[in-house]
Structure 1
């Protein structure tokens, strides 16, 4: 039950990222007379991700100082309040401000949920829930897009009511979750293994770029190849998402091999997929590349967080998880800019993705030598369930 609740809680940042996507054009029309509407409306969608990246390290440090459970519950309630607030607002600027606070809450939610998974479980069970975390978030993205469209059909404001589900989850979490940290750490700076943590953090930054490349750009690739049917584009995107879920789900079966073996495989699959997309002259070939790359990125995320958690003692696991989360979301935020820059230099979007694929091949080799073998010493500090 604890694992399921933490997986559902991990979906809240995904809800914030995709729920409003179907109603952005309607919002733009409603606020057409607002100065800067062309910039402000997209910010409604992107501002939370920026604040997740900025606040996650702080969220992790706070979780280590005051504990995880109560911090998570307050963040869930605040997330619901700020998430639903735009329903009552007539100012686009005010809505963007509330979205920034939604991002702050998401930082605390994601960091606390991932940290508690590391606290409650270890070894095989932890691998299971970390793989399911990526599966849940990937599948929930498709579900939230559908729900956002259905709610938005009755008016763009209606979509904001969906954020109220966080209060329901918080009410269930209250009696079920428990606080694993009995003596919160006071001197975090000395306790955090910064040198060991810096390696997965840097690799995760690139991993975040790779993970979100097709999430953002696959529809453009298909359009460039002549596919104009929006429904078919949606189906192709769903197929890539399914491959991501399969890749993530496989981690529960192969997680015992360790990050130093799995990360080269994950980056290798991603590299092959991106290079295939680069050379694709037809939609089937491009989708074959997308499936390879998506399976690789699905395996990539749980492998990265396992690596990060493996170097963290329990008393500073929140701080380390927050830094890892920040690296991932910074990668998400800068992904469109990186791909656009590579595409401009290489002569097109597909070429830019191909260059990123070559970089992923390099990262496959780098990760083999930097991830190292599984460390058993920290297991004594981990709570078991």
Structure 2
């Protein structure tokens, strides 16, 4: 008698748990480290390179140049994630991040430092896109929406810590904070052991599944402006406080950390609101941010500036996970890397444009405070226009394609 051949069941992918989530959340903080750690020491950097041509432009570019590169290359990083390998892309980017992140410890000139920050942006694009994509791969449904909100919450808390650390370490010299970029290389070790490449639903195809461009267009366009709002005070608050007479880097770092803590609180609320819609949440978030920017612009009194920064941080903290989940939560596995990269790119292009927009408004209105006030007024106008434009975004955010 011939034996009956029983087909073997296909091996199931391991279930992701807290260790994987913790590592992806920690890695997601690396681009935030690049964006916030140096904010308290920007006035010191400016003073250290006073004789450098274009120092007024190059100094804020230390923060905004990585954002430009993320904006330009995150879609390509998403393509690599979909076509090749999410995990490998992430690990390589983490190692390179530490190498170029610590380069300003020994670079002698401001242009060379800005160049190293450009390279840092390439690494940040791959890190942020891969982490967000893998969160979407490992989990689905309301849990995915909650963890994407938790990603924003974690990065906001990290920003609070990094701003405080930047201010404290800046007391020992403006180069000292760059040592913290070594954290990425340390994280890469457990990531190589614990993370795995998510399983595909079928064999790798020679042709990628087309992106739903109409589905992505609205959230990405709104995110472009949202990036301008999110980054405005991250770059400018230290200069606003300096103009108001706050000369201590530790004090500037502490106040900036308070704003980031408010961002974390806003992001933490998203998990409870993910059953709502973008049409309802986005105008509220933009309106809250506009109020905060208006308060910052209204006075030179430091307590009032702090209050405005906290309101702004709360609005942007709730805004980011809303925009992220709205854009990518219903993408398939084969689309998720490119969709996440596109959203990340538009966010960081907005962040890069933020310093330029505020500088243009400052030049047009005659001062930094009035420039921020003009941005608040523009945000009010955009919010009014968004109310009818978002009527079609009526699907609860936590619903997924899976």
TM-score scaled by length of structure 2 = 0.82
Unaligned 5+ residue runs, structure 2? Answer: 1-18
| Structure with larger Rg | 2
Asked if residue 372 in structure 1 is aligned to residue 390 in structure 2, the reply is no
Question: What do the CA deviations read for 1:135-162 (whole angstroms, capped 9, x no partner)?
Answer: 2222222322333344455555443332
SS at match of 1:191: coil
Asked if residue 101 in structure 1 is aligned to residue 119 in structure 2, the reply is yes
Per the alignment, residue 153 of structure 2 pairs with: 135
When residues 272 and 25 of structure 1 are mapped into structure 2, their CA distance, relative to the original with a 3 A threshold, is closer
Map 1:256-275; keep pairs closer than 5 Å: 256-275=275-294
Per-residue deviation at 1:283? 5.6
CA contact (8 A) 2:157 2:264 kept: yes
Per the alignment, residue 380 of structure 2 pairs with: 358
Asked if residue 120 in structure 1 is aligned to residue 142 in structure 2, the reply is no
Number of residues of Structure 1 aligned to a counterpart in Structure 2: 378
Per the alignment, residue 200 of structure 1 pairs with: 219
Map 1:165-176; keep pairs closer than 5 Å: 165-176=183-194
Per the alignment, residue 207 of structure 2 pairs with: 187
Per-residue deviation at 1:262? 2.1
Per-residue deviation at 1:108? 0.2
**2: distance between equivalents of 1:32 and 1:333?**
23
SS at match of 1:97: helix
**1: distance between equivalents of 2:47 and 2:336?**
45
Per-residue deviation at 1:84? 2.5
Map 1:290-329; keep pairs closer than 5 Å: 290-329=309-348
Per the alignment, residue 162 of structure 2 pairs with: 144
CA contact (8 A) 1:243 1:298 kept: yes
Per the alignment, residue 9 of structure 2 pairs with: none
**2: distance between equivalents of 1:370 and 1:178?**
37
When residues 57 and 137 of structure 1 are mapped into structure 2, their CA distance, relative to the original with a 3 A threshold, is same
Q: CA RMSD in A?
A: 3.1
When residues 364 and 250 of structure 1 are mapped into structure 2, their CA distance, relative to the original with a 3 A threshold, is farther
Structure in which a larger fraction of residues adopt helix:
1
**1: distance between equivalents of 2:174 and 2:302?**
34
CA contact (8 A) 1:11 1:137 kept: yes
**2: distance between equivalents of 1:30 and 1:200?**
41
When residues 44 and 68 of structure 1 are mapped into structure 2, their CA distance, relative to the original with a 3 A threshold, is same
CA contact (8 A) 1:132 1:249 kept: yes
Asked if residue 240 in structure 1 is aligned to residue 259 in structure 2, the reply is yes
Per the alignment, residue 58 of structure 1 pairs with: 76
CA contact (8 A) 1:67 1:181 kept: no
Per-residue deviation at 1:202? 0.3
Greater shift, 147-156 or 334-343, is seen at 147-156
Question: What do the CA deviations read for 1:7-26 (whole angstroms, capped 9, x no partner)?
Answer: 11111111122333455565
Question: What do the CA deviations read for 1:297-316 (whole angstroms, capped 9, x no partner)?
Answer: 11110000001113421111
SS at match of 1:257: coil
Map 1:326-337; keep pairs closer than 5 Å: 326-337=345-356
SS at match of 1:187: coil
**2: distance between equivalents of 1:123 and 1:377?**
6
**1: distance between equivalents of 2:130 and 2:377?**
35
Unaligned 5+ residue runs, structure 1? Answer: 381-385
CA contact (8 A) 1:193 1:311 kept: no
SS at match of 1:11: helix
Per-residue deviation at 1:114? 0.9
CA contact (8 A) 1:343 1:353 kept: no
Per-residue deviation at 1:72? 0.4
